[in-house]
Amino acid sequence: MKTAKTLFIALLLIAVAPLTAQTADEIIDNYFENTGGKDAWGNLEGIKISGSVNAQGMEIPVDVIQTKDGKQLVTINFQGQEIKQMAFDGETLWTTNMMTMQPEKSDAEMNENMKQQAKKDFPSPFFNYAEKGYSLELMGKETIEGTETHKVKLTKEPMMVDGKEVPNVTYYFFETENFVPIATQSEVQQGPMKGQTMTNSMSDYQEVDGLYFPFDMGISGQNLKVKEITLNPEISEGMFAFPE
């Protein structure tokens, strides 16, 4: 029944949004309007996403925490062990080495790239994007997952990868019917997949205290199934910091 209500609300939201969008700004405005309103998004201090990654028989529990000031933490649970897979306290990005189970700092480039955008990307890179130095371009319409979308190009400040500056571009595909993004595409910048396009997908949008979030995300071929999203979760400063 709750889902039925969600769907109903979704349809209502569609109804209040303008049916045509001419510019990227209008699309973004519709997106914020349809998913809870820009003010509500602006008031968000932090978010905790609890879910699991399903990899054929294995459901690995994952917690993701992000805060307004750019802190991030990804915790996974393997055989009863909490492992901080990735953490960033605003200054230092670090991971846990799976061989030694010890924390290790990420390389300087990656750290710098994270520092550059972590804060700006909360709650969404589109939120006040111009103030952040980001730019948008409406690329036209494209069919993704069989459905018509607006393709919007988001350009952030360039990143450094392997000693060279590279552009930092992500394409977002907003379903024309409801203006929520259902997919993103970006170019892989390093490793064996370098140069290839990585597509992520989003679906199962549901309401959490007035805001809408995707509860199913396909991230590089794996699905993150969200069980619960907590807005403004309790955090302690220590949880993000590199253990000295």
Binding region for other proteins (CB under 8 A): 1, 3-4, 6-8, 10-12, 14-16, 19, 52, 54, 56-59, 61, 77-81, 98-102, 139, 143, 145-147, 153, 164, 167, 169, 171, 175, 178, 180, 182, 187, 192, 194-197, 201, 203-206, 215-216, 218, 223, 225
Please, what is the minimum distance in Å from the beta carbon of residue 225 to other proteins? 7
Shortest reach from residue 31's CB to other proteins, in Å: 12
Six token digits for residue 193 = 């997949």
Burial class (CB in 10 A: 0-12, 13-18, 19+), 2: exposed
Q: Least distance to other proteins from the beta carbon of 58, Å? A: 5
Q: How far is the CB of 207 from other proteins (least distance, A)?
A: 9
Question: What is the DSSP code string of 118-168?
Answer: TTTTSS-TTTTTTTTT-EEEEEEEEEETTEEEEEEEEEEEEEEETTEEEEE
Instruction: Indicate the residue among 88 and 173 with the shorter CB distance to other proteins.
Output: 173
Q: How far is 91 from 165, CA to CA, in rounded Å?
A: 21
171 in Cβ contact with 154 (< 8 Å): yes
Instruction: Judge contact between 18 and 28, C-beta under 8 A.
Output: no
Q: Are 6 and 207 in contact (CB under 8 A)?
A: yes
Provide the token pair at 236.
């302690």
Using the minimum distance from each CB to other proteins, give the nearer residue, 58 or 130.
Answer: 58
Nearer to other proteins, 68 or 74 (CB): 74
Nearer CB in complex with other proteins: 186/232 = 186
C-beta closer to other proteins: residue 87 or 183? 183
CB closer to other proteins out of 51 and 123: 51
Provide, rounded to whole angstroms, the least separation between the CB of residue 98 and other proteins: 6
Tell me how far, at minimum, the Cβ of 230 lies from other proteins, in Å.
16
Amino acid at residue number 142: E
